[in-house]
């Protein structure tokens, strides 16, 4: 079961139901070294390492989640930089190869995976979108390569056939849905409307939000699962408006900008109807050109603990143009965990790395960066890597056993601050 509680105190949840695991939705092309990650599997094809840990990234440079690309790339780049400054993996610098994941409207991800496999990537970090990862997981794991996402949250990945080679640092979306649903009820909303993009991410997250709201005594008066590629959302918004909800939950990607425009046009601005958003559309770039105050007071959730100031400064040194840090901690942690697992395995082979990922994530002496952890390993110690995104203790499914969701609020500038209003942590027990 999953227990959710605000950090430092108990969260009064609406119901004590168990949570299953649901959905969220990359790169460039530069060769430099890094590490693979995943769980062991006898079904994984035999692969031979070349002694250099090569990490590929499959992250959004284009498409509906392109705004997530910069922080995710920066997280990987920072980790690789620190790993190589600490001596690399297996006595050699980690190599990295960045590629674009695009989105589900293109075949970019499949082409990028082909490129990474041709260049002997041992592990691939990405994609950001659950649907994109689902479209390439067979190709990646079928090649004996670790598939490690910093942002996938679909429940499908908990039970998907992955030859033991799929891992993620992002928590399942039912955890986020539970936190968001609790928040909506706690804010005094008795009636809500839901507008969710129609894919595994949108519908899965909407299901959990709806369940949590209803368990807490609220009512979902209208729900619209829409085509994110639609040119117009006026009819969808009209259905929500007709039911006069106190709050509207917006679950989607960049098309949310169009939905917001229609909400305002139809007389449902954020100062009259409360809006709630999620990780897929929480952005500090997509809404800044809207009239001042359009998103003022809007609340939203996305996974991850508070990123220390020092970490954000280090990211900015890697990419001075960063405007937000969404999934940067999870990307950073993914690269470090892969590198540490390769060190323990004494191998850059995907299945070997996968077999050690859970081991380096729990049960040993705690350490928080590659340099400190590798020094402990050299001293013959077992390690427990605690990441920037959280403890990252993997369960048998390759999911994080403990995760944190931040609750954020937009200001008059249509941006949300780096620090959340509140962080709530969920423990997932087998």
Per-residue pLDDT tens for 184-214?
999 999 999 999 999 888 998 999 999 999 9
From CA 199, how far away is CA 323, in angstroms rounded? Answer: 27
CA torsion, ordered 313, 316, 317, 321, to nearest 10 deg: -160
Confidence of residue 45 (pLDDT cuts 50, 70, 90): low
Domain count, the chain: 2
> pTM for the whole thing?
0.81
In angstroms, the CA 118 to CA 240 distance is 49
Residue 236, number of CB atoms within 10 A of its CB: 18
One domain, residues 135 and 237: no
Query: CA-to-CA distance for 42 and 219, rounded, in angstroms?
Result: 48
pLDDT at 35 over 60: no
pLDDT (0 to 100) of residue 428: 61
| Mean pLDDT rounded to a whole number for the chain | 89
- CA dist 179 and 175 (Å) reads 6
Is the pLDDT at 22 greater than 80, yes or no? no
What are the tens digits of pLDDT across the range 141-154?
999 999 999 999 88
Does 280 fall in a domain? yes
Which tops the pLDDT comparison, 172 or 291? Answer: 291
Cα separation values, 89 from 37, 80, 142, 212, 385, Å: 13, 10, 24, 45, 16
- Alpha carbon dihedral 223, 153, 401, 344, in 10-degree steps, equals 180
Residue 182 has pLDDT above 90, yes or no: yes
**Whether residue 37 has pLDDT greater than 70:** no
What's the pLDDT at 103? 94
In a domain, 26, yes or no: no
- What does the alpha-carbon distance between residue 18 and residue 3 come to, in Å, rounded to a whole number? 8
The pLDDT of residue 217: 97
User: Which of 25-39, 190-204, 253-267, 408-422 has the lowest average pLDDT?
Assistant: 25-39
Q: Residues 235, 318: one domain? A: no
Q: What's the rounded Cα separation, in Å, for the pair 162 and 220?
A: 36
Indicate the DSSP class of residue 305: P
Mean pLDDT within 70-98:
98
β-sheet with 166-168: strand ranges across: 95-100, 54-59, 123-126, 146-149, 166-168
What are the CA-CA distances from residue 217 to residues 15, 181, 184, 202, 243 (Å)?
Answer: 10, 11, 11, 23, 18
Does one domain contain both 146 and 186?
no
Could you tell me where the beta strands, DSSP code E, fall in 115-267?
123-126, 146-149, 166-168, 191-197, 219-226, 247-251
Which pLDDT score is estimated for 47?
57
For the CA atoms of 199, 57, 394, 203, what is the dihedral angle to 10 degrees? -10
> Does residue 282 form part of some domain?
yes
327 with 409, same domain?
Answer: no
pLDDT tens digit string along 49-82?
899 999 999 999 999 899 999 999 999 999 999 9
> What is the token pair recorded at 255?
């098309």
Report the SS3 class of residue 277. strand
Residues 252 and 395 reside in one and the same domain: no
* Residue 239 or 418, more confident: 239
| DSSP-assigned states of every residue in 406-421 | EEEE--TTS---SS-S
Torsion of CA 242, 247, 250, 256, to 10 degrees: 70
Q: How confident is the model at residue 41 (pLDDT cuts 50, 70, 90)?
A: very low
Length of the chain measured in residues:
430
How far is it, in rounded angstroms, from Cα 402 to Cα 3? 10
Q: Is residue 258 part of a domain?
A: yes
Instruction: Assess whether 203 and 134 both reside in one domain.
Output: no
Give a yes or no: residue 80 inside a domain. yes
Report d(CA 30, CA 242) in Å as an integer.
51
Contact indicator for 329, 307 with CB cutoff of 8 Å:
yes
Q: Which domain holds residue 392?
A: 54-170+309-401
Residue 336 tokens read as 């470090």
Q: Which residue has the tokens 């060769």?
A: 31
Asked whether residue 32 carries a pLDDT value surpassing 80, the answer given is no
Query: Are 313 and 348 found together in one domain?
Result: yes
pLDDT in tens, 327-368: 999 999 999 999 999 999 999 999 999 999 999 999 999 999
- In whole angstroms, give the CA distance from residue 208 to residue 342: 37
pLDDT reported for residue 87: 97
Q: Are residues 370 and 238 in the same domain?
A: no
Question: What SS3 state is found at 308?
Answer: coil
pLDDT at residue 310, rounded to an integer: 95
Mean of pLDDT values over 3-28: 35
Which residues are registered as beta bridge partners of 100?
59
CA 6 from chain centre, in angstroms, equals 20
Whether 294 and 396 map to the same domain: the answer is no
Closest residue by Cα to residue 66 from 421, 313, 324, 364:
324
With contact defined as beta carbons under 8 Å apart, do 115 and 107 qualify? no
Asked whether residue 301 carries a pLDDT value surpassing 80, the answer given is yes
- What CATH number should be reported for the domain holding residue 184? 3.40.50.2300
In a domain? residue 149 = yes
- CA nearest neighbour of 239 among 181, 194, 275: 194
Whether residue 239 has pLDDT greater than 60: yes
Given a cut of 90, whether residue 236 has pLDDT beyond it is yes
Over 90: is that where the pLDDT of 307 sits?
no
227 and 140 in a single domain? The answer is no
219-226 and 146-149: which strand pairing? unpaired
Domain presence at residue 274: yes
Residues 108 and 185 both lie in one domain: no
> CA–CA separation, 197 vs 202, rounded Å?
5
Residue 236 and residue 360 in one domain: no
Using the predicted structure, report yes or no on whether residue 48 has a pLDDT greater than 80. Answer: no
What average pLDDT does the segment 299-305 reach? 91
């Amino acid at each position: 079961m999953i227990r959710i509680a605000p950090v430092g105190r108990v969260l009064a949840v609406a119901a004590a139901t168990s949570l299953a695991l649901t959905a969220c939705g990359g790169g460039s092309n530069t060769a430099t070294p890094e590490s693979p990650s995943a769980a062991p599997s006898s079904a994984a094809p035999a692969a031979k390492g070349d002694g250099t840990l090569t990490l590929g990234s499959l992250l959004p440079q284009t498409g509906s989640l392109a705004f997530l690309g910069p922080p995710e790339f920066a997280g990987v780049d920072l980790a690789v930089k620190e790993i190589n400054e600490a001596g690399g993996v297996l006595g050699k610098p980690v190599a990295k190869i960045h590629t674009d994941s695009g989105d589900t409207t293109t075949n970019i991800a499949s082409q990028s995976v082909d490129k990474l496999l041709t260049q002997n990537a041992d592990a691939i970090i990405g994609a950001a979108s659950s649907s994109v990862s689902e479209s390439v997981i067979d190709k990646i794991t079928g090649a004996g390569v670790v598939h490690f996402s910093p942002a996938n949250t679909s429940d499908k990945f908990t039970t998907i056939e992955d030859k033991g080679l799929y891992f993620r640092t992002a928590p399942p979306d039912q955890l986020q849905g539970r936190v968001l649903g609790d928040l909506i009820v706690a804010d005094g909303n008795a009636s809500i409307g839901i507008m969710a993009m129609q894919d595994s991410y949108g519908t899965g997250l909407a299901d959990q939000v709806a369940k949590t709201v209803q368990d807490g005594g609220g009512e979902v008066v209208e729900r619209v699962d829409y085509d994110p590629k639609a040119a117009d959302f006026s009819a969808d918004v009209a259905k929500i408006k007709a039911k006069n909800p106190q709050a509207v939950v917006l679950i989607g990607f960049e098309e949310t900008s169009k939905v917001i425009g229609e909400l305002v046009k139809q007389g449902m601005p954020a100062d009259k109807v409360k809006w709630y958003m999620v990780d897929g559309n929480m952005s500090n770039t997509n809404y800044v050109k809207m009239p001042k105050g359009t998103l003022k007071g809007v609340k939203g959730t996305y996974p991850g603990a508070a990123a220390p100031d020092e970490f954000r400064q280090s990211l900015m040194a890697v990419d001075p143009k960063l405007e937000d840090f969404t999934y940067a901690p999870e990307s950073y942690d993914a690269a470090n965990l892969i590198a540490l697992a390769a060190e323990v395995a004494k191998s850059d082979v995907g299945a070997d790395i996968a077999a050690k990922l859970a081991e380096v994530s729990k049960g040993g002496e705690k350490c928080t960066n590659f340099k400190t952890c590798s020094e402990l390993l050299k001293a013959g110690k077992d390690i427990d890597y605690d990441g920037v995104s959280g403890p990252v203790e993997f369960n048998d499914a390759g999911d994080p056993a403990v995760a944190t969701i931040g609750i954020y609020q937009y200001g008059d500038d249509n941006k949300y601050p780096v620090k959340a209003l509140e962080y709530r942590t969920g423990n997932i027990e087998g």
